[in-house]
Amino acid sequence: MMNQIIQCVPNFSEGRRPEVVKAIVDTLRNIEGFVLVGAEPDADYNRTVVTLIGEPQAIIDALIPFVGKALELINMNHQSGEHPRMGAVDVIPFIPIANVTMDDCVGYANEIGRRIYDTFQIPSFLYANAATKPDRVKLPNIRKGEFEGMKDKIKDPKWTPDFGTNEIHPTFGVIGIGARIPLIAYNIDLATEDLNPAKQISRAIRFSTGGFRHVQAGPVYLDSRGHVQVTMNILDYKENPIYRILETVKMEAKRYQVDVPSCELVGLIPKQALLDSIRYYCQVHNEPFDKNMSYETMIQRSKTYMGFRDLDVLKIIEANLK
Amino acid sequence: MMNQIIQCVPNFSEGRRPEVVKAIVDTLRNIEGFVLVGAEPDADYNRTVVTLIGEPQAIIDALIPFVGKALELINMNHQSGEHPRMGAVDVIPFIPIANVTMDDCVGYANEIGRRIYDTFQIPSFLYANAATKPDRVKLPNIRKGEFEGMKDKIKDPKWTPDFGTNEIHPTFGVIGIGARIPLIAYNIDLATEDLNPAKQISRAIRFSTGGFRHVQAGPVYLDSRGHVQVTMNILDYKENPIYRILETVKMEAKRYQVDVPSCELVGLIPKQALLDSIRYYCQVHNEPFDKNMSYETMIQRSKTYMGFRDLDVLKIIEANLK
């Protein structure tokens, strides 16, 4: 049987105290069966995003001591930050990568939810493809009210957790556990300091104001770089390929006489998402397209065609696998 | 007080017998207070789309004899055609144009629904902005099963009509009465006989497969012209302006090395929808934009920038008003 591979991206609610971040992340280091691909603490958000790739069972087993360490070191009654959160470990999404179905990932979500409650009496809600009710599909619906509001919200029969009773854990809160397809965190640079074009272009491309169905986007000014950006999540890269969004942004930018020189990925991307867009530009330029191109060629083509900065092979999910 | 103006687009289920079409449409001719802008029978569909523009009360009053004539001349037990339908008059949508709110139009929908039932005992369902339940917002949900299925469907308490009892009219069926913003029926020509690019491009731009939120689109081959087309409804031209859809179609067409020489409107368009797109191209080309340009200039600019064929001033809703 071929290796089953998933991605798991637990987020925990500490991004300021380096020794705490280190102690929690260390529970996931050097474990047989999966790779700790990244751990990105953010002080403003007071949150750390961890990326794991590997075998489902190895990841699930390792999440128990990980959650245990967060329980030991984070007291949500004294935690604050820019990012909404409802637990010391806030979310644990499972993402199918290879030889794993979405249903398998729903199964993993259920397994870890049950084990976390049995071990620590921390309740959890299943979301995205693992959701058990329509109003739990979107994580923000579940998280609304955050840690502070969840004490009462969880007593509403509508918000009985999927694992646990009608009580939050007094210091940890609750966890959202999900199964979903990989989302792509993608940012497009605009060569201007004026936020307005980024604001208008975000409105044009994001679903909430009429744009592409699977795009969430907003404007941001990058102080360190001195220009604005359209920052986005692409929730379904198959239906909303990168090239289509990039070209639409360029088309909209023309009306402001603003250049679109570059773009960037935050976190990882499935190989197929790059290939789908490289294929578009090959077709447009009447150049041959080889779907078996090397990861190096993929990166080089992506930079040439789409202006990615800071892209390297290890951003490709599959390049992290043996 | 300024004149209140609405558009009303009743569709009736006869497009083959010219004398029947004429008799029904004639009930709407030469009436003080509104203009009969168009009546387009389609033999394949066996359906006629009527466009009225003018004062709400004049239109509402005229709809009573119009429905009466359809009741007299159409027996749905003997009607068939390509277009789904549930009544002899199938739909009556009200669209705010000037000095009228959407709430006003919801009121008109209620008024005509009540009067039609009181006069003829024909039941009706309110849809779109006039809908009284979430699953009645989309007309196809209501119409599912069509005339033939409605006999049973209407007995389900979930499908009790908004006006009338749990019985269809035996020869007329039921009517859908709605309030909605103007939709734009817009088609983009591709310079190829191959349907595949039109199919792929439709998938890229329409909501159901990930595209723009308010676009419904599909591929069609035009036998009479010898090329394919992406045919679409734009349900909200404010959030999904024409230029954005046209430029996205051009961007997608490039990968098939296919030209996009022209486009067309079916039915009418609000002035603002043309102005919004003209403004984009003026900005891109660094040309002055005058929002008070004449209708003639609007048409000429639209042809130059967007390649409209067959566009004339009377396609602009406001140009039909005094």
- By Cβ distance, the residue of B213, B251, B286 closest to A247 is B251
- Residues of chain A in contact with residue B252, where contact means CB-CB under 8 angstroms, are 244
* pLDDT tens, residue by residue, A135-171: 999 898 999 999 999 999 999 999 999 999 999 999 9
3-state SS class at B55: coil
Phi first, then psi: give them for residue A147, nearest 5 degrees. -50, -45
Q: Which of A190, A193, A192 is nearest to A205 (CA)?
A: A190
> What gap in Å lies between CA B270 and CA B203, rounded to an integer?
26
Q: Which two tokens stand for residue B199?
A: 């199919």
Where would I find the H helices in chain A? 18-26, 56-73, 102-120, 139-143, 146-153, 195-205, 242-253, 271-284, 295-306
Mean pLDDT for chain B overall: 95
Contact B310, B264 (CB under 8 A): yes
> What is the per-residue pLDDT for B2?
66
Q: Which two tokens stand for residue A65?
A: 């001591």
* pLDDT tens, residue by residue, A223-261: 888 999 999 999 999 999 999 999 999 999 999 999 999
Contact state of A254 with B284 under an 8 Å Cβ cutoff: yes
Contact state of A251 with B236 under an 8 Å Cβ cutoff: no
In angstroms, the separation between the Cα of residue A244 and the nearest Cα of chain B is: 8
Contact state of A255 with B280 under an 8 Å Cβ cutoff: yes
> What is the per-residue pLDDT for A303?
98
Q: Name the packing angle between helices A56-73 and A18-26 (round to 10°).
A: 150
Contact state of B286 with A257 under an 8 Å Cβ cutoff: yes
To which H or E segment does residue B272 belong?
A: helix B271-284
Q: Which residue of A has its CA nearest to B258?
A: A284
Q: Which of A78, A83, A214, A285 is catalytic?
A: A83
Amino acid of residue B242: I
Amino acid of residue A102: M
Buried b (16+ CB within 10 A) or exposed e, A20-58: bbeebbebbeebeebbbbbbebeeebbbbbbbbbbbbee
Contact B313, B319 (CB under 8 A): yes
- Residues of chain A in contact with residue B212, where contact means CB-CB under 8 angstroms, are 210-212
Contact state of B283 with A256 under an 8 Å Cβ cutoff: yes
3-state SS class at B305: helix
> What is the per-residue pLDDT for A117?
98
Q: Which domains does chain B have, with CATH numbers?
A: 5-179 (3.30.990.10), 184-320 (3.30.70.670)
The structure's pTM equals 0.78
Contact state of A248 with B248 under an 8 Å Cβ cutoff: yes
B322 pLDDT higher than 70: no
Contact A171, A76 (CB under 8 A): yes
Contacts of B249 (CB under 8 A, 6+ apart): B188, B201, B205, B230, B260
pLDDT band of residue A43 (cuts 50, 70, 90) is confident
Contact state of A284 with B255 under an 8 Å Cβ cutoff: yes
> What gap in Å lies between CA A150 and CA A143, rounded to an integer?
8
pLDDT band of residue B199 (cuts 50, 70, 90) is very high
- Residues of chain B in contact with residue A284, where contact means CB-CB under 8 angstroms, are 254-255
* pLDDT tens, residue by residue, B50-92: 999 999 999 999 999 999 999 999 999 999 987 889 999 999 9
Contact A118, A68 (CB under 8 A): no
Contact A93, A128 (CB under 8 A): yes
- Residues of chain A in contact with residue B283, where contact means CB-CB under 8 angstroms, are 254-257
* pLDDT tens, residue by residue, B266-291: 888 999 999 999 999 999 999 999 99
- The B-side interface with A (CB below 8 A) comprises 204, 207, 209-214, 236, 238-240, 244, 247-248, 251-252, 254-257, 280, 283-284, 286
- By Cβ distance, the residue of B204, B236, B248 closest to A210 is B236
> What is the per-residue pLDDT for B295?
97
Q: Which two tokens stand for residue A197?
A: 């074009």
Contact state of A213 with B213 under an 8 Å Cβ cutoff: yes
- Residues of chain A in contact with residue B273, where contact means CB-CB under 8 angstroms, are none
Instruction: Choose from B251, B276, B281 for mutation: most chain A CBs within 10 A.
Output: B251
CA contacts within 13 A on the Cβ side of A39: 17
A vs B, Cβ pairs < 8 A, gives: 56
Contact A35, A52 (CB under 8 A): yes
Instruction: Choose from B242, B244, B260 for mutation: most chain A CBs within 10 A.
Output: B244
- Residues of chain B in contact with residue A239, where contact means CB-CB under 8 angstroms, are 209-210
A322 pLDDT higher than 70: no
- The A-side interface with B (CB below 8 A) comprises 204, 207, 209-214, 236, 238-240, 244, 247-248, 251-252, 254-257, 280, 283-284, 286
Q: Which residue of B has its CA nearest to A234?
A: B210
Q: Which two tokens stand for residue B223?
A: 């036998």
Phi first, then psi: give them for residue B224, nearest 5 degrees. -65, -25
A1 pLDDT higher than 60: no
In angstroms, the separation between the Cα of residue B176 and the nearest Cα of chain A is: 26
Secondary structure letter of residue A39 according to DSSP: E
Q: Which residue of A has its CA nearest to B237?
A: A210
> What is the per-residue pLDDT for B271?
93
In angstroms, the separation between the Cα of residue B249 and the nearest Cα of chain A is: 10
Instruction: Choose from A207, A234, A255 for mutation: most chain B CBs within 10 A.
Output: A255
> What gap in Å lies between CA B145 and CA A242, rounded to an integer?
40
ipTM of this complex prediction, to 2 decimal places: 0.77
| B83 tagged catalytic | yes
Give the distance, in angstroms, between the CA of residue B306 and the centroid of all CA atoms in the same chain: 22
Instruction: Choose from A251, A257, A282, A286 for mutation: most chain B CBs within 10 A.
Output: A251
Q: Which two tokens stand for residue A84?
A: 């909404």
